[in-house]
Amino acid sequence: MKISVLDIDTLGDDLDLTDVEGLGEVTVYPLTLQSEVKERIAEAEVLIINKVKLNSENLPYAKKLRLICITATGFDNVDINYCKEHNIAVCNVAGYSTDSVVQLTAAMAFSLCTNLNAFDSYVKSEAYTESGVFNCLKPVFHEMSGMTWGIVGLGNIGGKVARLAEAMGCRVLAYKRTPVDEYECVDIDTLCEQSDIISLHTPLNEETYHLINRERLSKMKKNTILINVARGAVVDEEAVTEAVISGGIAGLGVDVYSCEPMQKDSPYQSLLGRSNVIFTPHMAWGAYEARRRCIEEVVKNIKSFSQNGRRSRIV
Q: Which residues belong to the active site?
A: 231, 260, 282
Task: Round to whole Å and give the CA distance between 215 and 193.
Answer: 11
Task: Round to whole Å and give the CA distance between 232 and 258.
Answer: 4
Q: In the sheet where 148-152 sits, what is the strand order?
A: 184-185, 171-175, 148-152, 197-200, 225-228, 251-254, 277-279
Task: Round to whole Å and give the CA distance between 228 and 74.
Answer: 17
Contact 209, 236 (CB under 8 A): no
Task: Round to whole Å and give the CA distance between 137 and 300.
Answer: 52
* CA distances to 103, 174, 187, 211 from 223, in Å: 22, 19, 20, 20
Task: Round to whole Å and give the CA distance between 222 and 244.
Answer: 9
